[in-house]
Copies of this chain bind each other. A is one copy, B any other.
C-alpha cells in the first residue's frame, strides 16, 4: 500500500532507477532536524527507580543539554518523577552530584506529590533541593500543552 509520503523522494528514486537510490540519498543528505525556534522546552519522565533507569535517564538529559543544535537558544528542561521513579531523588542514591549539576544548568527537578502518598515516601527522604508538584501527570499535560516535548526513556534491560 502506497501513501503520499515524500512523493519527491519516491520520484527521485524512480528517476534514479531504484528505491535504494532514495535511501542512499537520504542517508547522505540528512544529518538531523534543524532548529528554527528561539525557545525549546523538554519534560523528561521517569517512573522506574532502579539504578540502570536512573543512569540512562540522566545521561539522556545531559545529552540533550549538550546537543550543539541548541547553542544560542533558550532550552528549558524538567525531569518529572512519579511511581517508582521517585528513586531518582532519594537521599544517598549516589546521584546527588549529577542532579545538582543538572539543576545548576537550569533543569527543574520535580517530584509528583501523589506518589509520595501512594508509595509512603517521606519528603525528608528525598534531596531537599527538589520540588514537589501536585501530580506528575498534570505536570506533563501542562508542559506539553505549552509546546514542550515529552521524552520517556524506557527502563533498560539491565534492570533485570
Interface set of A (CB-CB < 8 Å, partner B): 1-6, 9-10, 13, 19-20, 22-24, 26-27, 30-37, 40-42, 45, 47-48, 50, 56, 59-61, 63-78, 82-84, 100, 103-110, 112, 114, 118, 128-157, 159-160
Tell me the smallest distance from the CB of A143 to a CB of chain B, in Å. 6
Other-chain contact of A152, B2, B66, B152 (Cβ < 8 Å) = B152
Q: Is the interface of A mostly helix, strand, loop or mixed?
A: mixed
Tell me the smallest distance from the CB of A77 to a CB of chain B, in Å. 7
Inside 8 A of A112's CB, which chain B residues have their CB? 63
B159 and A47 contacting across the interface, CB-CB below 8 Å: no
Interface centre among A60, A66, A136, A141 (most CB of B within 10 A): A141
Other-chain contact of A135, B27, B64, B77 (Cβ < 8 Å) = B64
B40 and A141 contacting across the interface, CB-CB below 8 Å: yes
12 new A-B contacts at CB < 8 Å, known A31-B131, A31-B132, A33-B133: A1-B66, A3-B65, A3-B105, A3-B106, A4-B74, A6-B106, A26-B108, A30-B131, A47-B154, A60-B136, A63-B112, A63-B136
